[in-house]
Amino acid sequence: MEISVSDAKGQLSELIRRAEAGDEIILTRYGQAAVRLVPVKPMTNQESRRALLDAMRASAAEKAAAGPRAGRSQDFLYGDAGQRPPILEKHRWWSNPGLSDPDTVIATVLADPTTIDLARIIGTYGLSRVERVRKEISHELTSSEARWLETLWEPVILGVQDASRMPTGRDPGK
């Protein structure tokens, strides 16, 4: 099948599907053959794909070794204080694995907060501790950081307080 490049633009997906199915597609420019569409590799049938997946699963099962549970794989980051930091929305741990001190975790979140992270540190460490750290670092924040924190602070506090009054095991929507 020959088709001009300008006509092919509107039906490229269909032309690619046909080329993958084995049809010969030639794109022309000014009436001259310019490009032939050919599949990179032939399509496999469902049985061969299934056999390949089964072989991959079997190979992976042979190589799998028992190890620490994924939930405990980063315990070395948190020290022996016994209280694990919350799982935060922003990945601050990767650049500074020394963030095991709770006040350091709180200060790091307060310097670049998200509503989720503020709620999580308040839920983990308590509002009074977070407020204490907030007062301690307030002079270190830039004006834009301080404005952003103030923008998020009140709604998050109200949400945490509302959530703490909600009985457990009950769907809030009902």
- Give the tens place of pLDDT for each residue, 59-105: 877 776 665 555 544 444 444 445 555 666 565 554 455 556 788 88
18-45: average pLDDT: 83
Tokens of 22: 């084995």
- DSSP conformational letter for 1: -
Q: Are residues 82 and 156 in the same domain?
A: yes
Give residue 8's domain range: 2-37
3: buried, middle or exposed (CB in 10 Å: 19+, 13-18, 0-12)?
middle
Q: Are residues 31 and 112 in the same domain?
A: no
pTM over 0.85: no
- Only one residue has tokens 């590799």, namely 41
Radius of gyration of the chain, Cα coordinates, nearest whole angstrom: 29
CA distance 151 to 115: 10
Position 131 confidence tier, pLDDT thresholds 50, 70, 90 = very high
Asked if residue 4 lies in contact with residue 30, where contact means CB atoms within 8 angstroms, the answer is no
Asked if residue 119 lies in contact with residue 156, where contact means CB atoms within 8 angstroms, the answer is yes
Q: Are residues 33 and 83 in the same domain?
A: no
The answer to whether residue 46 is domain-embedded is no
Q: Are residues 88 and 24 in the same domain?
A: no
CA distance 103 to 112: 15
82 or 128, higher pLDDT: 128
CA distance 128 to 168: 23
pLDDT of residue 165: 76
Q: Are residues 19 and 86 in the same domain?
A: no
Q: Are residues 90 and 145 in the same domain?
A: yes
- DSSP conformational letter for 85: P
Q: How many domains does the chain have?
A: 2
Alpha-carbon dihedral 98, 102, 103, 104, rounded to 10 degrees: 20
Position 124 confidence tier, pLDDT thresholds 50, 70, 90 = confident
152: buried, middle or exposed (CB in 10 Å: 19+, 13-18, 0-12)?
middle
Among the listed ranges 5-9, 16-20, 65-69, 165-169, which one has the minimum average pLDDT value?
Answer: 65-69
Q: Are residues 33 and 89 in the same domain?
A: no
The answer to whether residue 170 is domain-embedded is no
pLDDT of residue 104: 81
CA distance 75 to 100: 10
The answer to whether residue 145 is domain-embedded is yes
CA distance 94 to 74: 11
Mean residue pLDDT across the chain: 77
**CB neighbours of residue 118 within 10 Å:** 25
**pLDDT of 132 higher than 90:** yes
